[in-house]
Amino acid sequence: EAAVTQSPRSKVAVTGGKVTLSCHQTNNHDYMYWYRQDTGHGLRLIHYSYVADSTEKGDIPDGYKASRPSQENFSLILELASLSQTAVYFCASTGTGGTQNTLYFGAGTRLSVL
Amino acid sequence: TQTVSQSDAHVTVFEGDSVELRCNYSYGGSIYLSWYIQHHGRGLQFLLKYYSGNPVVQGVNGFEAEFSKSDSSFHLRKASVHWSDSAVYFCAVSGGYAQGLTFGLGTRVSVFP
């Protein structure tokens, strides 16, 4: 079964600190995505990647960096965490062919910035 | 630019009732339309999707959705809900998998016994 694993599941960070959220997929998918979920805003796309060593900006990339060192791994990096980045973050992957446009999501990382 | 509108923020139904969740979209080209379910504290799970062909698509657990180009809609239905269907339901659109999906704000469904 397709699997996307996120770590950590929850994180408390201090304002101005560095935070790295990790995502690992065993789906053999080329496409990976980072979304954030906030009450009242639904899910919004931060960064995505369609191949290792390459990332693209989504709709709300400011304050975030992404890294795709391999097909399986995709990280989201907050260099200087801010209060406004408190949210739940979801990683997702999708492939081509029959799974095209079907996103497989991880369980999410709840980030609280204090 | 693609947008998704889910008109109902919260729907309350009783077990065994039918339910319809509304989704309207705006997009200029060929699109994929899909529905996802999110149980409390969990990630989103795929329910069904439409790209072309029969406008009524069947999904998991008795869900179905109907595409209407004239109404720019993709409403989700279930004939008889179960308490386990209590969750938040998201409609999403995409012009292609490289772009990711654009999600609506979600509709929370509460099923009472």
**Average pLDDT, whole number, for chain B?**
92
A chain contacts of residue B10, beta-carbon cutoff 8 Å: none
Enter the DSSP assignment of B15: T
Place of tokens 């989201």: A76
Confidence category of residue A74, pLDDT binned at 50, 70, 90: very high
B31/A contact by beta carbon, under 8 A? no
Distance from CA of A8 to the nearest CA of B (A): 14
pLDDT at A2 exceeding the cut of 80: no
Whole-number percent of chain A with pLDDT over 90: 86
Which residues in chain A (49-68) have CB-CB distances under 8 A to chain B?
Answer: 50, 58
Q: Is the distance from CB of B80 to CB of B19 less than 8 angstroms? A: no
pLDDT tens-digit profile of A10-19? 999 999 999 9
Encode burial over B38-69: b for 16+ CB neighbours within 10 A, e otherwise: beeeebbebbbbbeeeeeebebeeebbbbbee
Q: Is the distance from CB of B12 to CB of B108 less than 8 angstroms? A: no
- What's at B75, amino acid-wise? H
B36/A contact by beta carbon, under 8 A? yes
Three-point CA angle A42, B103, B53, nearest 5°? 155
Task: Find the distance separating the first CA and the last CA of chain A, reported in whole Å.
Answer: 37
Distance from CA of A63 to the nearest CA of B (A): 20
